[in-house]
Amino acid sequence: MADSCHYHTSTDASWQCQPCRRHYCSECIPGARANYHGQGPDCPLCRVHLEYIGTSNSAKPFWQMGLFYFIYALKPGPLTVMALAAVGSLAVTSLGLLSIVALVAIVAVVSRYNLLVIEKLAGGQLEAPALTDALDGNGAVLLLKIIGMTLFAGFIGYKLVQITGSENVLQLYAITLSLLAPAAMIVLAVEHSLRSAINPIKLLHFTLIIGWPYWLLWLTTSVISAAPNYLIVIVADKLPGWLVPPFIAASTSYFYIVTSAIMGYICLSRQQKLGIVAELDDDENYLEENEFLRARAQAEAQIYMREGDFKAARQALVEGLRRFPNDEVLNERYYRLLLATQDQKALQELGPHILEKFVQINRPHKAAELYLATEPAPPLRKPEVRHALAQVLYQQHKYPLAAQLLNNLHKEPYPQLDAAYLLLAQVYMDGLNREDLAVKLLQFVRQKFPDSTLRPQIDTLWKVLNDTVRAH
């Protein structure tokens, strides 16, 4: 089961901090490795380097990914390897003495590619590597190590027969080799160490870490590895003779890549327990500097607030607001921090300025929400802020508060006073049942603003009020 983010429980974690025992998602740790100067992010709490677990944490059990492995082996990289094996099989038969050299070279490249598949999938790279990735000069070395593993296993078997003289012991040894073969290939692919790959204690420890799925892995890879033999029996007599060698080479390569993908994926699902360092290919998550700094300030402030470290949260928000004074999220979190800490002095002094910013960025509903959450209400002096909040409060049927904000607005120079007092008249009429005050207010507006662009609305409301008054 995937580990969830400690602060966003519905989201799978991408990073973990061992000392803090915290898991973080990409919202908590925004951006890509390059945003952190190539070193990767640190834990916001203890500043220890974080461990990436994104791909492995969301990995499904390997037995649920059946179709993935067979499609994986049909990607451009594996298809190139299959083509190389097929063409090589034809070339080998016509090169005479050079056949041995060509055969060894092809086997080295194909073996290197299969080990690379295990290594890359174990590290979290779900895309198949290109053939060129296997041409890194390690093919011959790894082939020699595979040969070394085979010779070592044969030598041990020979010695067992010499010592015991029992065929039963040899059969038991052969079964053990078969059971540990996938573990040996995985260890060689991941650690590149022949010593580790032939160390029985290391291999047994590996199987214990994987647990019972290892035996399912062994069974699956054994069946798939045998598939080319059955396939050849079926199609051999249906193909021209010259086509049989390339068919055998291509199909064998295909199924070996499938089994390598299975072995790599099971390591991915146990990545942390196996101590495999995850590969992080997250260029698509890279953020421009300002966007990254804004996202990081937002994330760290939220984490500190959730941890109850209000001092650190406030510092992070202040630093963020210095760079991005009009950022909506930073301003809201700062205001809510003041509410959470009940900093009445800051709410009275800074609250009006923050609410004004929300009005300026066309978020009056957010300003009204924060205004209603503040007790006592912050003093609002700017007419445009009072007007914007009153409009929202009127829509929310909070008529007394809307009227309170709009009263005596004519004492301040405000170019939209006609609109504000038209709204106040509607408040009096619709919410407070004070048609008398609404009439007086509209008389003032009609006299003060004879050329108002809102004159049609004013006249309509004036007519409705007069009809209402006469009806009463």
CA distance 327 to 339: 19
Q: What pLDDT is stored for residue 178 in this prediction? A: 87
- For the chain, percent helix, then strand, then coil, each to nearest 5? 70, 5, 25
pLDDT beneath 50, residues of the chain: none
CA distance 325 to 54: 33
pTM for this model (two decimals): 0.70
Q: What percent of the chain has pLDDT over 70?
A: 94
Answer whether 398's CB lies under 8 Å from 429's CB. Answer: no
Radius of gyration of the CA atoms of the chain, in A:
36
Q: What pLDDT is stored for residue 128 in this prediction? A: 92
Answer whether 418's CB lies under 8 Å from 448's CB. Answer: yes
Q: What pLDDT is stored for residue 96 in this prediction? A: 58
Question: Tokens at residue 2, please?
Answer: 């995937």
Would you identify the CATH topology of the domain 1-53? Answer: Herpes Virus-1 (3.30.40)
Residues 6+ apart with CB under 8 A from 427: 390, 394, 399, 402, 403, 406
Residues 6+ apart with CB under 8 A from 297: 316, 317, 319, 320, 323, 324, 330
Domain boundaries 288-374, CATH class? mainly alpha
Q: What pLDDT is stored for residue 470 in this prediction? A: 61
Give residue limits of the domains in the chain: 1-53, 62-274, 288-374, 397-472
What is the H or E stretch that residue 214 is in? helix 213-235
